[in-house]
Structure formats: structure tokens, C-alpha cells
Amino acid sequence: MSVLEVRDLQVSVKLPEGQLKPILSGVNLTVRSGETHAIMGPNGSGKSTLAYSIAGHPKYQITAGTVTLDGADVLAMTVDERARAGLFLAMQYPVEVPGVSVANFLRTAKTAIDGEAPKLRTWGGELKGAMEKMGMDPAFAQRNVNEGFSGGEKKRHEIVQLELLQPKIAILDETDSGLDVDALRVVSEGVNRVHANSDIGVLLITHYTRILRYIKPDFVHVFVGGRIVEEGGPELADKLEAEGYERYGALR
Ligand code: ADP
Ligand code: MG
Ligand code: MG
């Protein structure tokens, strides 16, 4: 049983000229093992900033608040320590890593997370199985990470990582954006499979309600203007579907 706790989190982005631009203005959120939380909000509301702040992106400066995982101070950890502690981020825009093959990348990540290299005897099959389940041709293992991948292939690869690394808490940042219906279904089934096979807690960040037809959230948080403005159960997503974010407009 794990718990990610975000308390009064305030975050600014560091601009190239060195100034700080405030983005998050006091976020409170608790994600426990086995729970699925949807964060829904308009573009530019700060959803990715929240994801990156929890993961430890250096561009974001925490100006107040705390983030803990099972009581441990996440903000005091380096990015790799956060990953080893059990945090996982599927990025909205997965980055290309020229010169590093998918096979090498995943094996290196698995080794770093587990503290020991996966058994050679079983690893090949595990990797192939995870890729096949996500509808990725195992030939992708020899390609460079995300290089020349379509939007859908990048997102499938994010879920392959999720499946192999078995984190405690996974943050999925707009994993649904840019996916056609088939890819959306495969990606959603992948998340649901991981959820069914482990006690993972999921923080699903999305702009659209359509992914919530496949992944059922236990809690929905409406995110506008750098903070959570409304919270509820799955029925809140239906309300957003019908009414949009317009009625929160004054808060922007
Ligand atoms: P969302 O993911 O909800 O679309 P983001 O967290 O990406 O929102 O962005 C929130 C706000 O922060 C936006 O207004 C965006 O322009 C701003 N922002 C994010 N990163 C930077 C940056 N590096 N420089 C300037 N502004 C940024
Ligand atoms: Mg659940
Ligand atoms: Mg975003």
C-alpha cells in the first residue's frame, strides 16, 4: 500500500531570462495504491507542470508545499531516486533519444529501478511480450527510442515502460492526446492490465473525457488556473463532457 501526497504545492517555471513565472497555486492531492484519479483541465492550466514537478524536471521551481511518497520527501530526491522510489511519468511529448535502442533503454531502466539486471533467460521474452501486448512489432526493440515513431507508437512505448517497470504510482500525462480510436483502446487496455495485475495508483491527466470511457476513474479533479477547482467521482467527468470548462472560466 503506497500513498502519494501533494500538499499546497506552489510551482513557478524558470524562464530563460531567469525570472520565475508562477504556474501552480496550491495543489492538494492524495493518490493511494489501487486508485485511479483523473485530472482534467483546459490547455495551459498547469497539468504538465504538476506532472513534471512531481517527477523532478529542473525547469520547475517549487516555491511552497510538499510532495511525499509513503512519507518520504520526494522533493528532496533526484529524478532517478524518485523513479526508484516507485514514481513513473508517461510524458505528454515523449522525447527522442538518438543512438539508444529501445531494447537497451528498457533494460537499462529496468536494471536501474530493480537494482540488478533482469535475468537474461527471461528478459527477452518479457520485453517481447510487453511490446506485443501493446501492439508494437518486436522489431521496434532495435530502433532508437522514439526516433521516427508516430504519435501513437510513442504512447504505446510509454505503456510498455509502465508494464515493465511496475511503479507504485504512475502519472500519465495526456497519454490519450493524438491517438486514434484503435491506439486509444490499446493504450487504455494496457493501463487497465497493469492496474489489474498490480496495486498501482494512477494519476491520469487528460484534456478530453473520451479516455474515461476506457479507464474508469475513482476520482475526478477539475484543474483550472494552476489549481484544483472541483472534485468528485466519475459523474463529474460526464458533467464536464456536457458542459466543458467554460463555467470555470472566471477562475482562469
Ligand atoms: P497544461 O499541461 O495544462 O497544458 P502546462 O503545465 O504545460 O499546462 O503549462 C501551464 C502554463 O505554464 C502555460 O501558460 C504555459 O505557457 C506555461 N509554461 C510552461 N512551461 C513554460 C516555460 N518553459 N516557459 C514559459 N511558460 C511556460
Ligand atoms: Mg482501482
Ligand atoms: Mg500538458
Q: Is residue 118 part of a domain?
A: no
Whether ligand 1 lies within 6 angstroms of the CB of 45 is answered as yes
Q: Is residue 183 part of a domain?
A: yes
**For the domain that residue 215 is a member of, what is the CATH number?**
3.40.50.300
Q: How does pLDDT run along the chain (252 residues), one tens digit per residue?
A: 999 999 999 999 999 998 999 999 999 999 999 999 999 999 999 999 999 999 999 999 999 999 999 999 999 999 999 999 999 999 999 999 999 999 999 999 999 999 999 998 899 999 999 999 999 999 999 999 999 999 999 999 999 999 999 999 999 999 998 899 999 999 999 999 999 999 999 999 998 899 999 999 999 999 999 999 999 999 999 999 888 888 887 454
- The label of the residue with cell 508562477 reads 22
Work out which ligand 1 atom sits closest to the CA atom of 41. 3
Work out which ligand 1 atom sits closest to the CA atom of 51. 6
Residue of 12, 21, 91 to mutate, ligand 1, most atoms within 8 A of C-beta: 21
Whether ligand 1 lies within 6 angstroms of the CB of 47 is answered as yes
Q: Which SS3 state, helix, strand or coil, does residue 143 take? A: coil
Ligand nearest to the CA of 36: 2
Q: Is residue 136 part of a domain?
A: no
Q: Is residue 102 part of a domain?
A: no
So what's the ipTM on this one? 0.95
Residues of the domain holding 236: 3-93+168-251
- The label of the residue with cell 537474461 reads 120
Q: Is residue 49 part of a domain?
A: yes
Q: Is residue 127 part of a domain?
A: no
- pTM equals 0.95
List for the chain the helix, strand, coil content (%; round to 5).
40, 30, 30
CA gap 2, 121 in Å, rounded:
31
Q: Domain total for the chain?
A: 1
Q: Is residue 242 part of a domain?
A: yes
Q: Is residue 8 part of a domain?
A: yes
Whether ligand 1 lies within 6 angstroms of the CB of 46 is answered as yes
Whether ligand 1 lies within 6 angstroms of the CB of 23 is answered as yes
